[in-house]
Structure 1
Amino acid sequence: MTTELVAEAIKKAGIAWINIPGGPSLCLWVMPLEGALVVVCGPGEQQAPGLAEAAHAEVRLRGDNGGLIVIVEARVERLTPGSEAWNEIAPQLAGKRLNASGTAEELVARWAEAGSAVLRLTPGDEPVSAPHLPTGSEAAPVRETPARTKVRRPFRLHRVRKRKP
């Protein structure tokens, strides 16, 4: 049974910081559902290396002011395509997925075909909340990425001259 704080934070969650043991913390889009969080990751979706194979993950949830209010250990359960839980949860998740091409049914079929992971994160019994939350900055150093590009000056077709007063 989760505490009232965790239940309320889950109801209001749109994103969560999820930390897989041995990996970096990832900010992931989540959908609250019946006291748990549902996440989709994999090909064509948000990347969460190792989350689908993990048994547990640390979930950090924010409050109304955007700050951290609770940290909870969650059990990770992967839903298998065609199962009763998949047939109930995946269409709801697809309906909430913004900017997806196609209908919810097509998106669910694409997830099943591509091997995307639909995961249910169920919180454990012992959350960490105020006053036991970390007080210092837990910011990690910036990770290397191939997405960096050298910034150039903007192209101008015609020379812009300053007008004399």
Structure 2
Amino acid sequence: MSQTPLLDSLLDRALVEEATKKSGLIWVRGTGPARALWHVWLDGAVHLVGDGPGEQPFPGLADGSAAQVTVRSKDKGGLLVAWTAAVRELTAGTEEWDAAVAELKGKRLNAPDAEQMTDRWARECRVLRLTPQGGIGALPEDSLAAAPLPTWATTRQPVPAALPKLLFRRRKKR
């Protein structure tokens, strides 16, 4: 006996919610390359904060656009589910923005200005809501592996000659 489309939709929705809630990072692709973003799940959607000084960048995600979201397992790293989201920017000071920011503030690690963080987010950052649209997509056949994005946090210096000896030195028994 096959399941009805409504039941499939409810099961899809439950899978998307549970997988996304439990994942520490999600991969989001707008018009540019996919990026790993930290998030919170609230009221049936993913909420993100970024695009400001000291926060995660999400270029290619614009208000009213669509995005592809890929969720991986937190413990094994395997692909769990992929889904399409409608992107909407929340307006600072609204009830919806306040609720999202309250959840995001609790998840933000190592904030340099924890006391004034929400004020800074209101002034300088964007808070986005990614709402799942339709059912889940078919899982891709390829690995989705990609070259790392360019960053200023790379080391261009050669490894010091003594480093392997220090790392792999065995302790002498006494």
The verdict on a shared fold, with TM-score over 0.5 as the criterion, is yes
Which among 62, 77, 90 is matched to residue 66 of structure 1? Answer: 77
Deviations 1:30-61 (A, max 9, x none): 11212211111112200111214451100001
Which residues of structure 1 form unaligned runs of 5+? Answer: 157-165
2:156 counterpart (128, 147, 150): 150
Matched to 2:134, the amino acid is D
Counterparts of 1:120 and 1:95 in 2: how far apart (Å)?
17
Can you give the 5+ residue segments of structure 2 that lack an aligned partner in the other structure? 1-9, 163-174
The DSSP-based 3-state class of the residue aligned with 2:135 is coil
Q: Give the Cα separation in 2 of the matches to 1:7 and 1:142.
A: 28
Equivalent residues of 1:11, 1:35 under 8 A apart: no
Are residues 83 and 119 of structure 1, via their aligned partners in 2, closer, same or farther at CA, if it must alter by over 3 Å?
Answer: same
In structure 1, what residue type is equivalent to 2:109? L
- Equivalent of 1:41 in 50, 53, 64: 50
Matching of residue 20 in structure 1 with residue 30 in structure 2? yes
- 1:29 & 1:95 partners in 2: Cα distance? 12
Contact in 1 for aligned 2:26/2:38 (Cα 8 Å) = yes
Question: Aligned in 2, Cα 1:148/1:14: closer, same or farther, shift over 3 Å?
Answer: closer
TM-score (norm 2): 0.75
Alignment of 1:31-110 (within 5 A): 31-43=40-52, 44-53=54-63, 55-63=65-73, 64-103=75-114, 106-110=116-120
Structure having the higher helix fraction is: 2
Query: What TM-score results when the alignment is normalised by the length of structure 1?
Result: 0.79
Give the root-mean-square deviation of aligned CA atoms: 2.3
How far the C-alpha of 1:78 sits from its partner, in A, is 0.6
Query: 4+ runs of 1 displaced by more than 6 Å?
Result: none
What CA deviation, in whole Å up to 9, does each residue of 1:100-146 have, x standing for no partner?
A: 12335x101001111x1111111112212xxx412222222344445
Q: Tell me the distance in 2 between the aligned counterparts of 1:122 and 1:152.
A: 45
Q: Which of these residues, 122, 131, 139, is aligned with residue 112 of structure 1?
A: 122
Q: Number of residue pairs matched?
A: 150
Identical counterparts, % of pairs: 42
